[in-house]
């Protein structure tokens, strides 16, 4: 513990961000790094707890408390305070393959479990993590390290999202020849096309992909395994295959006139938007344009928030976000004590921007859509909604019609898209994810493994990285009879 009184002397300072009305003019990330002196003070706030819940990653209450990667948080916070960025980076990379991703998009399970947060503000763990890895790239501490010894084994990874990339990196370090197959035109999966550019700029993803290529990992894009790429070919050419295809089967909306023109799934809306941005700066018009439209987003989670922020940047006329559940409390309740994940109301960047532009929070709580209204050509003109009781029953007399020319369904996912799993003959569970033994990654097909959202269902980037690391160890044990890879 570099400064025993640090948590008493220094207040939490978050990285400053551009004001909402300024940042909606562009598609870039909008946070600004703290000066080194202030960053070191933020590291000094860490209490180096004897029992650091921040890195526990254990189930408490109805969720996980602390980091699923078991990041060595007190260690590298102490090193940040002492200005030893290179060693701090080494400790960080021992457990986290991609801090530049989690430092941007993770909801910071670690901070929710920070002891400083029990009676005050938690340590800025996520921002400390991000600044450490970015300094590593800038100062040249991070350099590709191809394996010096080859195992002679070949592994195919299907899917280049965070789980697939983490699995690939770990297996490559072990000396296995790894090829990653991606159905889209760019590697990165969820990181590339599922997360908007203002949360994760795509040159950050490209930088990591190139880094992995420099370490010896191969990437093949536009290889849709199970459609235009034969699974039998992968099985015959490799000693193991790992399925990391995500959980991209969207939950639909069961309402009258569902087939109206102007209704899109969030996953399609966001991916088309990012692809058009990267391909042409939107000049190709190969995206759903919300400009001048009344938009309704069904779903109050992170994906719905991303849709809100995207629509505002395109100049929508209005935006409303429907949330079936009641508004969460603004502070912890007695039945949700520290260090459980705080079940409180969070106003994210998109909602902040909607408040700044339209003067009100876009969320309608305890509300659901019941019918889509159309003109004579079947084009969407409005959405009929109704309030819900605490047991999610419609409340008579609360119906209203919202003007709407664009409806985006961001109601979550129902597991993986089945065709790749079926092409390999692996078993799916009732939750539509690939079945394995508990806490295991081998499927019912010898030599075929799985990880990430395809294995556990829709989850977080940090969980996907953890899954990829653990699956890599299982694959390594299968190939070599033992493994020295850390989980």
With helix as H, strand as E and coil as C, how does the chain read?
CCCCCHHHHCCCCCCCECCHHHHCCCCCCCECCCCHHHHHHHHHCCCCCCCCHHHCCEEECCEEECCCCCCCHHHHHHHHHCCCHHHHHHHHHCCCCCHHHHHHHCCCHHHHCCHHHHCCCCCCHHHHHHHHHHHHHHHCCCCCCCCCCCCCCEEEEECCCHHHHHHHHHHHHCCCEEEEECCCCCCCCHHHHHCCCCCCCHHHHHHHHHHHHHCCCEEECCCCECCCECHHHHHHHCCEEEECCCCCCECCCCCECCCCECEEEHHHHHHHHHHHHHHHCCCCCCCCCCCCCEEEEECCCHHHHHHHHHHHHCCCCEEEEECCCCCCCCCCCCCCCCCCCCCCCCCCHHHHHHHHHHCCCCEECCEEEEEEEECCCCEEEEEEEEEECCCCCECCCCCEEEECCEEEECCCECCCCHHHHHHHCCCECCCCCECCCCCCCECCCCCEEECCHHHHCCCCHHHHHHHHHHHHHHHHHHHHCCCCCCC
* pLDDT value of residue 354: 98
* pLDDT value of residue 22: 98
* pLDDT value of residue 1: 65
What are the domain boundaries of the chain? 6-139, 154-248+414-480, 263-409
CATH topology assigned to domain 263-409: FAD/NAD(P)-binding domain (3.50.50)
What homologous superfamily is domain 154-248+414-480 in, according to CATH?
A: FAD/NAD(P)-binding domain (3.50.50.60)
pTM above 0.95, yes or no: yes
> pLDDT digit of tens for each residue in the chain (487 aa)?
678 899 999 999 999 999 999 999 999 999 999 999 999 999 999 999 989 999 999 998 888 999 999 999 999 999 999 999 999 999 999 999 999 999 999 999 999 999 999 989 999 999 999 999 999 999 999 999 999 999 999 999 999 999 999 999 999 999 999 999 999 999 999 999 999 999 999 999 999 999 999 999 999 999 999 999 999 999 999 999 999 999 999 999 999 999 999 999 999 999 999 999 999 999 999 999 999 999 999 999 999 999 999 999 999 999 999 999 999 999 999 999 999 999 999 999 999 999 999 999 999 999 999 999 999 999 999 999 999 999 999 999 999 999 999 999 999 999 999 999 999 999 999 999 999 999 999 999 999 999 999 999 999 999 999 999 999 999 999 999 999 999 8
* pLDDT value of residue 487: 83
Q: CATH second-level architecture of 6-139?
A: Orthogonal Bundle (1.10)
Tell me whether domains 154-248+414-480 and 263-409 share a fold.
yes
């Amino acid at each position: 513990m570099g400064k025993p009184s640090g948590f008493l002397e220094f207040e939490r300072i978050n990285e400053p961000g551009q004001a909402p009305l300024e940042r909606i003019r562009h598609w870039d990330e909008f946070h600004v790094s703290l000066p080194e002196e202030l960053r070191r003070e933020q590291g000094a706030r860490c209490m180096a707890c004897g029992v650091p819940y921040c890195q526990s990653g254990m189930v408490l209450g109805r969720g996980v408390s602390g980091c699923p990667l078991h990041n060595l948080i007190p260690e590298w916070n102490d090193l940040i305070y002492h200005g030893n960025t290179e060693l701090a980076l080494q400790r960080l990379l021992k457990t986290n393959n991609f801090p530049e991703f989690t430092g941007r998009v993770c909801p910071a399970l670690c901070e929710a479990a920070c002891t400083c947060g029990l009676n005050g503000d938690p340590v800025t763990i996520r921002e400390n993590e991000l600044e450490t890895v970015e300094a590593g790239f800038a100062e040249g501490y991070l350099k590709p390290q191809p394996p010096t010894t080859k195992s002679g084994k070949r592994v195919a990874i299907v899917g280049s999202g965070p789980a697939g990339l983490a699995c690939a990196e770990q297996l490559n370090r072990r000396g296995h020849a790894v090829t990653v197959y991606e159905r889209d035109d760019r590697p990165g999966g969820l990181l590339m096309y599922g997360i908007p550019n203002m949360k994760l700029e795509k040159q950050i993803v490209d930088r990591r992909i190139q880094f992995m290529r420099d370490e010896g990992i191969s990437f093949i894009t536009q290889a849709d395994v199970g459609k235009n790429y034969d699974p039998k070919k992968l099985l015959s050419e490799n000693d193991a295959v790992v399925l990391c295809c995500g959980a991209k089967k969207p939950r639909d909306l069961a309402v009258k006139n569902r087939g109206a023109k102007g209704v899109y799934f969030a996953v399609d809306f966001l991916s088309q938007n990012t692809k058009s941005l990267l391909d042409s700066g939107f000049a190709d018009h190969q995206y759903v344009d919300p400009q001048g439209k009344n938009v309704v987003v069904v779903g109050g989670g992170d994906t719905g928030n991303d849709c809100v922020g995207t629509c505002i940047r395109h100049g929508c006329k209005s935006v409303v976000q429907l949330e079936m559940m009641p508004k969460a409390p603004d502070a912890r309740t007695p039945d949700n004590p520290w260090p459980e994940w705080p079940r409180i109301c969070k106003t994210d960047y998109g909602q902040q921007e909607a408040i700044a532009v339209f003067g009100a929070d876009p969320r309608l709580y305890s509300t659901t859509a019941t019918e889509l209204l159309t003109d004579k050509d079947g084009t969407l003109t409005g959405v009929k909604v109704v309030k819900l009781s605490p047991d999610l029953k419609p409340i008579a007399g609360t119906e209203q019609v919202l003007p709407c020319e664009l409806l985006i369904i961001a109601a979550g996912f129902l597991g993986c898209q089945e065709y790749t799993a079926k092409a390999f003959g692996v078993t799916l569970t009732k939750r539509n994810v690939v079945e394995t033994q508990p806490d295991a990654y081998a499927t019912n097909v010898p030599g075929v493994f799985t990880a990430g959202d395809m294995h556990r269902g829709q989850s977080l980037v940090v969980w996907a990285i953890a899954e990829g690391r653990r699956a890599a160890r299982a694959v390594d044990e299968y190939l070599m009879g033992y493994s020295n890879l850390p989980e």
